[in-house]
Structure 1
Amino acid sequence: MTSPSRPLVKEAPTPEAPAPVPPGGGRAAPTGRRGPRALLSSLGLNLVALAVGLGVWALLNPLGYDVLPGPGEVLSRAGEMIADGTLADDALASVRRVLTGFALGTLAAVPVGFLMGWYPVARGLLEPYVQFFRTVPPLALIPLTIVLMGIGETPKIFVIFLAAFLSSVLAAFQGVVGVDRTLIDAARVLGAKDGTIFLKVVVPASAPFILVGMRIGLGSAWGTLVAAELIAAPEGLGFRMQQAQLYYDLPTIFVGLISIGVLGLLMDRLLLVAERRLTHWQETR
């Protein structure tokens, strides 16, 4: 009686046909992944650019552009606003409005974009409205929002929500329609249902588009903030800049501009880190 045969050992794939590696399954870094040296080099270039910008700004006054405040004057004004708590209160109020509007806009944009990309009927019903409101600047809706929603926090957040929504919904839509049909057909051949295909294939493949749309939506939210705080805001960076305009207080305006830029940059960097972590399986160049 012969002994049962041992299981066959799968042959290693040849170099011409490497074994596919599932997203995030391999240890090797994707092509084009920046190493520590490249990151340090990029950071060094950023610091050089910052130093050059500050140097040019500091030279404007001696060259005759004395209308603009210098870095020292703006820094002194920022110190005063930090000491009396004005800058912290304004920054917190603005960040709260931006985060609320941005979060609501993104939460609404992702399912709407998925529906438009996955179901042709939904695309036909929703796309005209999305395209219509994309041609209408959110700032143009401020008078209407004041009439319909009053002058509280709701109209401010709604204007920011609309700006973030319109920037993110098309990215989610494009992410769905841009999924490789080969992946979907392969999943169907393996017996996957529509729900499984959507969750296991479409959503991961759309993630890079969604995250890029979120970064664009975040920029739109910050870009709409100052106008949104025109609606009878008691505090906020945009409100403080508008008040400073009445008294020709340029240092305060510069403090507000720099604060908005720094906060927006920090939030964008956080989204960029999330994008790299969630799409680390994607090959980059």
Structure 2
Amino acid sequence: MKTPVDAPAEHRTERADPERVESPKRTGGTRKKARGTGRITAVLLALASAALGLLVWVVLANSGIEGFPGPVVVARRAGELIADGTLFEDAGASLKRVLIGYVLGVVLAVPVGFVMGWYPVVRRLIEPWLQFFRMVPPLAIIPLAIVLMGIDETPKIFVIFLASFLSSVVSTFQGVVAVDVTLVNAARVLGARDPQVFLGVVVPASTPFILVGMRIGLGASWATVVAAELIAAQGGLGFRMQQAQLYYDLPTIFVQLIAIGAIGLAMDRLLLVAERRLTHWQERR
């Protein structure tokens, strides 16, 4: 009589080891625990980075550089500017210009980029001019814009619009061009028409490129608005920096620089959150 051990291999049934089989509940708990650990690690690294930056700042302030303010002096000056409302007024003026020019640039750049990427004829007609204007810094157009449009808000918003538009349109049409042809052909084999291919394949595949272009355009917009305010403005963070320069007021300049960086970083983080939500299907490291 054959025992289960002597039975042929094909007739044996292996019992599942309860320690080796992971239940969905255990797997989900492990993933949540890993996410929580990753977030804690990210927060700790961010705090360590901030502490390191402050340490370097203190070292530079105490290194003998003439007039270089330390964190305490800058914090005191920031408190004064916040108390009298100057910092909020300047930040609001600059933020308004950036938002108007940036949104207009992105809204126009996305459809133009899609058309350039989808129709090769349009791309060949527009791309040379696009690359030409990309080689001209928006800062170089500020004097011309002031002469043609005056010294009010229009030239400032225009150069911000140009900076964000050029960055976003290039990323958009590169995203359309980079779409895997196999996906497009597969959709057409399954009976999808051009509008369905465009909306179902091209747009989702191009979304990561669009969002990267939007983040680059955001940085270009802030750089441009500060330069525009340095040349001709009656308010804004760049304008306040120019006024502080005339009086060698370095603490005020530092306050404006920190404000620009903080606002720009917050806006970039919002775009990063949107990118993760819209491109959750992508594999990430």
Q: TM-score, normalised by structure 2?
A: 0.86
Matched residue pairs, number? Answer: 255
| Cα offsets for 1:13-56 (capped at 9, x unmatched) | xxxxxxxxxxxxxxx9xx9xx82211221221111111111122
The aligned counterpart of 2:235 is 235
The aligned counterpart of 1:136 is 136
Letter of the structure 1 residue corresponding to residue 209 of structure 2: F
The aligned counterpart of 1:73 is 73
Moved more, 168-177 or 231-240: 231-240
| Cα offsets for 1:105-158 (capped at 9, x unmatched) | 111111111111100111011101100001000000011101111111010011
Structure 2 counterpart SS, 1:221: helix
The aligned counterpart of 1:258 is 258
The aligned counterpart of 1:118 is 118
Q: CA deviation at 1:230?
A: 3.0
Q: CA deviation at 1:210?
A: 0.4
Q: CA deviation at 1:278?
A: 0.5
Q: Over the residues paired in the alignment, what is the CA RMSD in angstroms?
A: 1.6
Q: CA deviation at 1:231?
A: 4.4
Identity of aligned residues (%): 69
Structure 1 Cα separation of the partners of residues 275 and 61 of structure 2: 41
Structure 1 Cα separation of the partners of residues 66 and 40 of structure 2: 36
Structure 1 Cα separation of the partners of residues 165 and 236 of structure 2: 22
Q: Which runs of 4+ in 1 moved over 6 A?
A: none
Letter of the structure 2 residue corresponding to residue 151 of structure 1: I
Structure 2, unpaired ranges of 5+ = 1-27
Greater Rg, structure 1 or structure 2? 2
Q: TM-score, normalised by structure 1?
A: 0.86
Letter of the structure 2 residue corresponding to residue 65 of structure 1: I
- Say whether 1:59 aligns with 2:59: yes
The aligned counterpart of 1:167 is 167
Structure 1, unpaired ranges of 5+ = 1-27
The aligned counterpart of 1:186 is 186
The aligned counterpart of 1:49 is 49
Structure 2 Cα separation of the partners of residues 148 and 35 of structure 1: 54
